[in-house]
Amino acid sequence: MKINNDFILRKINSADGELNVVIAVGKMADKLNGYLTLNGSALFLWKELEKGVKEEDLVNALLKEFDVSLEVAKNDVQSFISTIRNMGALDE
Amino acid sequence: MKGLYKIADLYVLIEYRYNYTKKFLESYLSTDNALPDIVLTVLDSDLEYELNFAEIKILDVVESSCILRKLAYEITTKFSGVLFHASSIAYNNKAFMFTAKSGTGKSTHTRNIKSVYGDKITYINDDKPIIRYFASEDKFYVYGSPWNGKHMLSNNIKVPLEAVIKLNRGDINKVEKESSLNALNFLLEQSYSTNDKEMAVKRLDVITKMLEKVKFYNLTCTKDASSSSITYTKILNGGIYEDK
């Protein structure tokens, strides 16, 4: 699975602090009108998916990076993937 | 017909067909002996494509929209520039851009400011100012453009960008700092873009920089001229950002 390259992540050093936002460009701009903000584990998972990764590897990576149980990691990964799949951001 | 124009500090050689366009671009004509930074030629296919979006389906009028589309593409992809749907004025050599959903009354508000504060205020562009980012100076400049709205208010000038203001209509006059996320939203909404990916990415680069460097306000105000005083005190003279 990999993030579709019509979705780009940008770090903004704004007056309100660091913001990490995803914007759709190209034809996907009609699907995501505006932006999505990512923080914490969502930002981490997005960056892993930009490289291209399997779902199991994503869970393992999350476990290594964050102090959570396997159950929580699995749920987080599943719900994140489902969200971005619905956005059309996932190439599978 | 062909002409060399100077728009947003760029020499643009435009090849077009209609006299309406010639008049339209007139005040941006350049007599400098310069090589063009941008060359635009209006083709049949361009005009056909533009007709799809045109409210007034007359080719003479459509041609200038065509040129806008092509120019915006070049300025954004190659010259770190973005066109905004905004009314922009200058005060004390600082540019202020008022954005709002169509019909809210940004032109009314800037006209009110001009009517009250007169010569202190200069119009940059009432409809589609052009913003360019210069990395060498780490600065944004706002420029007039020939696309200057119903009242044709613009000047071919260049002013450093100080603030962008989101305008809302209301029964009271109120100014607040705007959050960066809200600012991102209205910058995306009110900036000129197409489905072209490169243009969208470059536009985002400029907007990202704006969020790092420029002041953002949220203004609620009434339709009458008295509303201009809150803008004058708290925005043009930088009231809130100085308050601690």
Alpha-carbon distance of B24 to B7, in angstroms, equals 13
Length of chain A: 92
Question: If you ran DSSP here, which 8-state letter would residue B9 be given?
Answer: T
Please name the member of B180, B197, B211 whose beta carbon is closest to the beta carbon of A6. B197
* Contact with chain A for residue B39, Cβ under 8 A: no
Task: Tell if the CB–CB gap between A15 and B184 is shorter than 8 Å.
Answer: no
Closest CA of chain B from A80, distance in Å? 21
Task: Tell if the CB–CB gap between A16 and B188 is shorter than 8 Å.
Answer: no
Alpha-carbon distance of A62 to A56, in angstroms, equals 10
pLDDT one digit per residue (tens) for chain B, 244 residues: 999 999 999 999 999 999 999 999 999 999 999 999 999 999 999 999 989 888 888 888 899 999 999 999 999 999 999 999 999 999 999 999 999 988 898 999 999 999 999 999 999 999 999 999 999 999 999 999 999 887 777 888 899 999 999 999 999 999 999 999 999 999 999 999 887 889 999 999 999 999 999 999 999 999 888 899 999 999 999 867 665 4
Q: Which residues, including other chains, have CB under 8 Å from residue B83's CB and lie 6 or more apart?
A: B68, B72, B75, B76, B128, B129, B130, B131, B145, B147, B191, B192
Task: Tell if the CB–CB gap between A35 and B201 is shorter than 8 Å.
Answer: no
* Planar angle of CA B48, B154, B199, nearest 5 degrees: 45
Reported pTM: 0.90
In contact, B123 and B110? CB cutoff 8 Å: yes
* Contact with chain A for residue B214, Cβ under 8 A: no
